[in-house]
Amino acid sequence: MIRDQDRYRLFSRRAVLLGGGQVALFSALAGRMYYLQVVEADRYRTLAEDNRINMRLLAPLRGIIFDRYGVEIATNQQNYRLIVVPERSPDIEQTLSRVARFIELDDAERKRVKKEIRRKRGFVPVTLRENLDWREVAKIEVNTPELPGVLIEVGQTRLYPLGESAAHLVGYVGAVSEAELTGEPLLELPSFRIGKNGVEKVFDQRLRGRGGRSEVEVNATGRVIRELSRREGETGGEVRLTIDAGLQDFAHKRMGEESAAVTVMDVTSGDVLAMVSAPAFDPNAFNRGVTKTYWRELNSNVRAPLTNKAITGQYAPGSTFKMVVALAALEAGLTDSDDTVFCRGHVELGKARFHCWKRGGHGTVNLIQALQQSCDVYFYDLARRLGINRIAAMAEKLGLGQPAGIGLPSEKPGLIPTREWKLAVMGKRWQGGESLVAGIGQGFVLATPLQLAVMTARIANGGHAVKPRLFAPTGEVWDPQAPPPAAETLPKLGISTRSLDLVRRGMDAVTNSPRGTARRSRIKEEAWRMAGKTGTSQVRRITLSERRGGVIKNEKRPWKERDHALFVAYAPAYAPRYAISVVVEHGGGGSKAAAPIARDVMRETFIRAERAAEAAGREARAPGRAPAVSKAAFNPGEDGGFGGGTGGGRR
C-alpha cells in the first residue's frame, strides 16, 4: 500500500514537471510568435515587400551643349541596342553565328558575350552590339524568326554633330572607370557615361542631370513580373558656348591635312568664336567604345590628334613676338618712329654671329619697316638694349607666360624667361646672346596659340586687358548679337596709345603694303582690311657649314625638321573687332602656310557675323568697338611710310 502511494506521488511529481515544461515551452513559443507576428510585424512586412519589389535607378538624359546661336554641338540620339536573352535561345553558339551574318560580330565580342552569359542568370539580357544603324536594325527585325532570344532595345546615346571639328573643344563622354566611382548610384549604372575631356568634363555635374526611379515586382529568382511605377529622371542642364559652330567647322576644314591650331576671338568681349586643333579624333567613337586599332592609330600618329594644340601646344612664337619687343622699346624710350638700324644680314656679339632671315640684309629700316619686312637685325638691336627682364614685363602685360584662363583642362602657361628664372631653374646666369634670340621669339620663349590670340587682341583694342571667354554667362538671357562692353570698361595695361599706334601701323604694313611679308594674304575688301604679323620658328639649329653652302629649304627637309609657321592678325585694321592666331606645325614660312589660313577664316568670320545679324532682323553691328585708329595713320606707302627700306619679305 505504501509502495503504491510512493509510486503515485513519484508519478504525480513527474507529470507536474513534464506538464510544467510543456506549458513553459508552449508559452515561449506563443510569446515568440506574438513577438514576430505582432511586435515585429511591420519590420518583416517591409522585408518581405523589399524581396518582392525592387527599386531601379533610371539614367537621365544628358544636357545639351549649344553654340552661341543655339546650334547643338553635343546632343543625344536614339541608340538601337541588340540584346539576347539566354534562356530564350536554346543554342547560344548557333544564335551568335546567325547574328554575325547580319551585323559584324568578331571573335572578341563573342567571347565577351559568352562570358557575360555565364556570369548572369538566364533571364538577364546581355548586350551584343550598341549603336546599330537603320540598315542593321532592319536586317535584324526582318530575320527575327531565325534569331530566338534576340531583341532590339531603344535607348539614348551621346552625339557630336560636328565630329572632329570640335572634338578637342567639346571633349567626349565615356564609361565610368573604377577610379572614378565616388559612391554616387548613377555612376554604377552599366550604360551611364560621364565627361572625360573638354567642356563635357568641365560641366559634367551640370550636364548629368538627376536619376529617375522605377519600381518593379520580381519573383523569388529575381525575374521581373511587372513594373509598378515609374518616375523619369531630370534632364541635365544645358551649356551654351561662345563658339560659332559654322566657323569652327569651316576653320577645321580649311586647315586640311595640316597639324595646326586656329583661334578667333572678339577683341573686346573676349568671346572665342573658334578654337580648332587639327588633326583631331572622332568623339563619337569614344562614346561607343574605342577599338584597339583606332586607339593605336591615334597614339602612333606623329601629328598628335589627341592633343589640343590651341591650349596645350607651346611653340616659340618667332617673329609674332616682335610686337612685344617693339612695345617694350617704345615704352622704355629706346626707339621711336624715326630711329633706324642698318641690317647687313647679321650682327655680332662677342664671338657669336646672329643672322637675319634675309641673307643679304634689309638695309636701313625703321620700326614700321622692321615689322613690315620682319627684319631680325632690327629686333636684335632692340633686345640687346632692352634686356630680357623689360621684354618679359611687356610680354606678361600682353598675356604671355601665364594661362589665359579659358577654363578647359590641361591649359599650358607657356614660358617668358627672365634672369631670375634661368638662375632658379637652370642654375646659370643669363647671357647677352640669349636676349637677342628672345628678341625674335626664339630660345626659351614659348606661347600657346590661344595666348597669341590674346596678345593680338590686347594690341588691337588699344591696350585693354581682355580675357578669353568660352562659356556664355549662366543664369541670364544671353544675346550673342548684343554689343559687348566697350573696350574702355576693361582694365588698362598701361601702354601708351602712341606706342600701340606705331606697332599697329607696322602690322598693317605687313599685310597691305607691297613689301609686307603677308601681302599675298591680304583681305581685299577694304571694310575687312586685316593687319597682322607673320612668324617662323626654327625647330633645329642651322649649322655654320649649312649657312655657307645654303640653308636647306623647308620643303626638302623631313616633316619633323621643318620650321613652324605662325600668323597673328586683327580686323578691321581701322576699327578692330576680331583677333586671330594660326600656328601650323612644321609648315615652313608663316607667310606661306599660316597667313592664307588666317585670311580665309577671318573673311568667313565677317561673313557669318553679317548673316547672323540679318537673321536676327537687325543691322550688322558696326565693327568699331575697340578704340578706332585714324585711317590716315594706316597709309604707310610702299616703304612703310618712312623711306629707306630695301628688299621684299617672305618671312
Sequence-ordered list of residues with C-beta below 8 angstroms from that of 180, at least 6 positions apart, any chain: 187, 194
* Residues listed for the chain: 651
Question: Would you state the torsion angle of the CA atoms of residues 451, 456, 458, 463, taken in this order, to the nearest 10 degrees?
Answer: 140
Q: Is the peptide bond before 449 cis (omega within 30 degrees of 0)?
A: no
Q: How far apart are CA 238 and CA 220, in angstroms?
A: 42
Among residues 329, 341, 332, the alpha carbon closest in space to that of 642 is found at: 341
Q: Which helix (H) or strand (E) holds 225?
A: strand 224-231
DSSP secondary structure letters along 231-256? EPPBPPPPEEBS--HHHHHHHHHHHT
What's 88's DSSP letter?
G
The residue to which cell 601681302 is assigned: 519
Q: How far apart are CA 529 and CA 509, in angstroms?
A: 11
For 211, other C-beta atoms within 10 Å of its C-beta total 19
In the numeric block, which cell numbers belong to residue 131?
549603336
Q: How far apart are CA 158 and CA 186, in angstroms?
A: 16
Q: With contact defined as beta carbons under 8 Å apart, do 510 and 372 qualify?
A: yes
For 630, other C-beta atoms within 10 Å of its C-beta total 9
Three-state secondary structure string covering 599-632 = HHHHHHHHHHHHHHHHHCCCCCCCCCCCCCCCHH
Q: How far apart are CA 320 and CA 424, in angstroms?
A: 27
In the numeric block, which cell numbers belong to residue 184?
554616387
Considering the candidates 89, 259, 319, 513, report the single residue annotated as catalytic: 319
Torsion-angle region of 536 (φ positive above 0: left; ψ -120 to 50: alpha; else: beta): beta
Known active-site residue 410: no
Is residue 212 helix, strand or coil?
Answer: strand
Q: Which residues are catalytic?
A: 319
